[in-house]
């Protein structure tokens, strides 16, 4: 009587366990929940979510989902970036900004410095109607002395604003926008939608504005340095 010994091939194993060799990494759906040391949500409303990432040298975040988003570098760093089978190395300087479409990706800090950056993700809900307010008359167009557009595409315009002590901006339009403060400062804010108010802002503070016409004055004792993420859609 002959013994029939089944031949277990790689194909047979694939049917049983889903592949040969290294199994594909499961996509992380909630990076903040699974990697709270590396990722924290700093702000969220119906339209945007702001997540701050901090990866020490050697830290990794496995493949995870990402929506339409702008990334702003808070430090100088070098990372390995993986999208599917595509792997690349990227170096960013503090203040660099770039845009990503909605795609799964993994990140690893392969440099010698901490990788610190914020990710501003645009949600799917339509923005409030901006009415007659237009991006064509925003801070970067009306007050180029203090406001500089550092990135723009069909989704967003990002403006870097620096107001020295005593400096001010004339009345200008602002569409639906997110403000991210890079320094601690005090400003006087005058808007056609509200009474003039003086506001103390801390570095890292984030707030949202719907469309209005406004002016800003640095009435404090420190440089007012902040980013404006103006969303077009």
**Collapsed DSSP state (helix, strand, coil) of residue 79:** strand
Q: Kindly report the number of other CB atoms within 10 A of residue 52's CB atom.
A: 19
pLDDT tens digits, residue range 42-63?
999 999 999 999 999 999 999 9
Half-sphere exposure of 122 (CA within 13 A, CB side): 21
Q: What does the chain come to in residues?
A: 233
Find all residues with CB under 8 Å of 36, minimum gap 6, and list them. Answer: none
Specify the pLDDT at position 32. Answer: 87
| Cβ count near 83 (within 10 Å) | 15
Q: Does pTM top 0.85 for this prediction?
A: yes
Tell me the average pLDDT across 144-161: 98
Q: Report pLDDT digits (tens) over 155-193.
A: 999 999 999 999 999 999 999 999 999 999 999 999 999
Region 53-80 average pLDDT: 96
On the question of pLDDT at 82 being above 60, the answer is yes
Q: How confident is the model at residue 25 (pLDDT cuts 50, 70, 90)?
A: low
Whole-angstrom distance, CA of residue 82 vs CA of residue 103: 11
Mean pLDDT to the nearest integer, 7-21: 42
13-22, 141-150, 180-189, 224-233: lowest mean pLDDT where?
13-22
* Confidence band of 33 (pLDDT split at 50, 70, 90): confident
User: In angstroms, how far is CA 223 from the centroid of its own chain?
Assistant: 23
């Amino acid at each position: 009587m002959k013994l029939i010994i089944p031949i277990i091939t790689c194909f047979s194993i694939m049917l049983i366990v889903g592949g040969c060799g290294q199994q594909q990494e499961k996509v992380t759906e909630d990076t903040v929940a699974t990697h709270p040391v590396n990722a924290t949500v700093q702000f969220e409303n119906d339209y945007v979510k702001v997540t701050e990432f901090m990866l020490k040298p050697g830290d990794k975040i496995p493949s995870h989902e990402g929506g339409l988003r702008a990334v702003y570098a808070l430090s100088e760093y070098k990372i390995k970036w993986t999208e599917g089978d595509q792997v690349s190395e990227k170096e960013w300087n503090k203040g660099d900004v770039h845009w990503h479409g909605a795609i799964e990706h993994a990140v690893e800090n392969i440099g010698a410095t901490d990788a610190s950056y914020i990710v501003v993700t645009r949600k799917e809900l339509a923005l409030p109607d901006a009415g007659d307010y237009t991006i064509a008359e925003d801070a970067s167009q009306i007050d180029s002395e203090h406001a500089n557009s550092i990135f723009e595409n069909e989704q967003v315009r990002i403006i870097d604003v620096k107001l020295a002590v005593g400096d001010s901006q004339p009345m200008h339009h602002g569409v639906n926008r997110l403000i991210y403060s890079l320094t601690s400062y005090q400003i006087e804010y005058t808007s056609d939608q509200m009474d003039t108010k003086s506001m103390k802002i801390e570095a890292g503070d984030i707030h949202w504005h719907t469309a209005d016409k406004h002016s800003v004055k640095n009435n404090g004792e420190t440089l007012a340095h902040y980013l404006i993420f103006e969303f077009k859609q």
